[in-house]
Amino acid sequence: MTRPASDRGLTLLELVAVLAIFALVAVMGLQALSGMMRARDRLTEADERAAALARGLTLLREDLKSAAAMPFWPPDALDPDPALLDLTGPEGRFALTTAGRGVLPEVQAAGQARVIWRHDREADRLTRQIWPVLRPASDQALAPETTVFEQVAGLRLRAYAGLEEGWVADWGQPDLALRPALPKAISVEIESITYGPLRIVVAYP
């Protein structure tokens, strides 16, 4: 007796076609999931870079806002360094004295420090280094350099000397015009390979 056509199972060809459709759907789903994971990783990396950039700019701004008109005496030096020393042109660095920063209770410090920002031109990075006191007894007091910004192509500082001179470079270098310890304002520009020019301007009373 012949069975009705409705009772027949799938033929081999139909089964292969169904499996092929399932495999195609699975591959499409895997590709979509992989794309979402890659997008998530890119967003996470972008968020981390943005957070690191914000922390670095905040640190630089706080250093500039804390600038104080006090000289710094390097170990064994006969003459002090000025409160602000701009060497971004020849050496890619600048140094400034800071004061009024918070100090932990058990730390033997007066809230005054010498901060050095340096552009490592070979490694394309911007580093920060600190002398925790203004009259260190030896070079051992100098803290190690820490990297604040990566992918940096340039560093430039300009100081505002007033209406007559305007914005000038080389503030604090010897054999230049006699000026006060601090300018009326400081402008620091970082040439970021990733974000382009980043500029911070801080004025002083």
In a domain, 128, yes or no: yes
Number of residues in the chain: 205
In a domain, 79, yes or no: yes
Is beta strand 93-98 parallel, antiparallel or unpaired with respect to 84-87? antiparallel
In a domain, 133, yes or no: yes
Q: Structure tokens of 205?
A: 């009373």
What pLDDT band is residue 172 in, cutting at 50, 70 and 90? Answer: very high
In a domain, 4, yes or no: no
In a domain, 3, yes or no: no
Would the pLDDT of 1 be above 90?
Answer: no
Which residues in 118-134 are b (16+ Cβ under 10 Å) and which e?
bbeeeebbbbbbbbbbb
Which residues are registered as beta bridge partners of 155? 190
Overall average pLDDT of the 39-55 stretch: 76
Amino acid code (one letter) for 203 = A
What pLDDT band is residue 12 in, cutting at 50, 70 and 90? Answer: confident
Q: Which domain holds residue 45?
A: 11-103+110-205
Determine contact, residues 181/161, Cβ cutoff 8 Å.
no
pLDDT at position 104, please? 52
Q: How many CA atoms lie within 13 A of 29 on its CB side?
A: 6
Overall average pLDDT of the 25-42 stretch: 76
What pLDDT band is residue 100 in, cutting at 50, 70 and 90? Answer: confident
Determine contact, residues 70/83, Cβ cutoff 8 Å.
yes
In a domain, 200, yes or no: yes
Pick 199 or 14 by higher pLDDT. 199
Using CA of residue 107, residue 109, residue 112, residue 115, what is the dihedral sign? negative
Would the pLDDT of 167 be above 60?
Answer: yes
What pLDDT band is residue 141 in, cutting at 50, 70 and 90? Answer: very high
Model confidence pLDDT, tens digit, residues 101-115: 665 555 555 689 999
pLDDT at position 36, please? 77
In a domain, 99, yes or no: yes
Cα(85)–Cα(78) distance, integer angstroms: 17
Mean pLDDT over all residues of the chain?
86
Locus of tokens 């967003």:
43
Q: What is the pTM of this model?
A: 0.77
What pLDDT band is residue 48 in, cutting at 50, 70 and 90? Answer: confident
Instruction: Say how many domains are in the chain.
Output: 1
Rg of the chain (C-alpha set): 30
In a domain, 1, yes or no: no
Spacing of C-alpha 174 from chain mean position = 30
What pLDDT band is residue 15 in, cutting at 50, 70 and 90? Answer: confident
Is 15 in a helix, a strand, or coil? helix
Pick 164 or 123 by higher pLDDT. 123
Nearest to 171 by CA among 65, 91, 88, 97: 88
Looking at the chain, the whole-number percentage of residues with pLDDT higher than 90 is: 58
